[in-house]
Structure 1
Amino acid sequence: MKTFQIKIALFTLLLLQGCQAIKTAVYDQYSYQKTTELKVETLLAIDNATTSFEKHQQMVEKVLLDMEKLKEYEKNKPNNEITFSMWSIMTDSEKNLVAGFFKRWKEKQILSPAFVTEAKKQIEEAFNLLIEYEVKKDKTSKDNLLALISA
């Protein structure tokens, strides 16, 4: 009987250690809601990039501030490195996603419709991957998000 209990304890210990390596933050309604709101607000701002940046500067600043707030929220959730990494890329003005797009718009003042259309597709896809990962927390959505992060 004692040998059986030892085997059960060893099995449980190994199972718990295996789970440690694959921990993922649980679904978070707040993260989902804020990410979808930011997607809509960001895409609306991007739609205006064929006109003067100055006319839309306050909108852009609000979107960027809200993104920074959500990034900070995501940073402090346990087992949330993937989502935090994606928000770090989205808010990095040296990358080619949201903050980088807004930086370019500010520098150029007006962007071409072709550039805006292509950039909007990429940014929308990044948001979609974030939202999908938040909702599903499965291997496929995780791998898709990791592929974008590592690109």
Structure 2
Amino acid sequence: MKTRLFTVYLGAFALLLVTSCASLRTAAFDQYSYQKGTEIKVDATRLMAKATMQYDSQAAAIENFEAELAKMVEYEKNKPNNQISYAMWKMMANPDKNFIAGFLKRWKEKGTLSTFFINEAKGQTVEALDLILQYEGKKDPAAEKKLQGLLGLQ
């Protein structure tokens, strides 16, 4: 009788363990994503501050930054259970959105940008990057909900 009861409890525990693990749909904390996201944030703000200069004078730095951003998007795309972070990085890299890639596109079209515009765009970009970093650092429901709101998934 004890053996059978033990087997039932063990089976129930195993079932609970398997179902609880299967319900996790958020990628675990990733040090690389957090570190690279921080680097991109710093590089983005430094690059945006230079937008009062001619775009062509910063073309090499812009090209390097765009390559780093593309690498981050590709890295996030291939992590399992990472739909929210991936969607956010795609949005950051989309030149038709009002984040860093859109800023760079506008800078290229205009040649230079006003300090007022730079500061407004920088605030919006930094806020979005902060949300990504908070989510990557905590992976908690509150940070996820903020990102979903920004992505329009709520």
Q: TM-score, normalised by structure 1?
A: 0.89
Q: CA deviation at 1:10?
A: 5.6
CA–CA distance in 2 between the matches of 1:89 and 1:134?
16
Query: 5 Å matches for 1:58-77?
Result: 58-77=60-79
CA–CA distance in 1 between the matches of 2:99 and 2:18?
38
Residue aligning to 2:105? 103
Q: CA deviation at 1:20?
A: 3.2
C-alpha deviations, 1:49-96, integer Å up to 9, x for none? 112111111111111110101111111111111111111101111111
Q: Which amino acid aligns with 1:106?
A: K
Aligned partner of residue 49 in structure 1, secondary structure: helix
Q: Look at both structures and tell me which one has the larger radius of gyration over its CA atoms.
A: 2
CA–CA distance in 2 between the matches of 1:16 and 1:85?
28
Q: Which amino acid aligns with 1:100?
A: G
Q: Which amino acid aligns with 1:62?
A: N
Aligned length, in residue pairs? 151
Gaps of 5+ in 2: none
Gaps of 5+ in 1: none
Q: CA deviation at 1:13?
A: 3.6
C-alpha deviations, 1:80-136, integer Å up to 9, x for none? 111111111011111111111100000011111111111000000111011111110
Aligned partner of residue 96 in structure 1, secondary structure: coil
Q: Which amino acid aligns with 1:40?
A: V
Query: 5 Å matches for 1:29-40?
Result: 29-40=31-42
Aligned partner of residue 51 in structure 2, secondary structure: coil
CA–CA distance in 2 between the matches of 1:56 and 1:141?
34
Residue aligning to 1:149? 151
Aligned residues: percent identity?
Answer: 43
CA–CA distance in 2 between the matches of 1:107 and 1:20?
48
Q: CA deviation at 1:150?
A: 1.4
Residue aligning to 1:127? 129
Q: TM-score, normalised by structure 2?
A: 0.88
Residue aligning to 1:26? 28
Q: CA deviation at 1:142?
A: 0.8
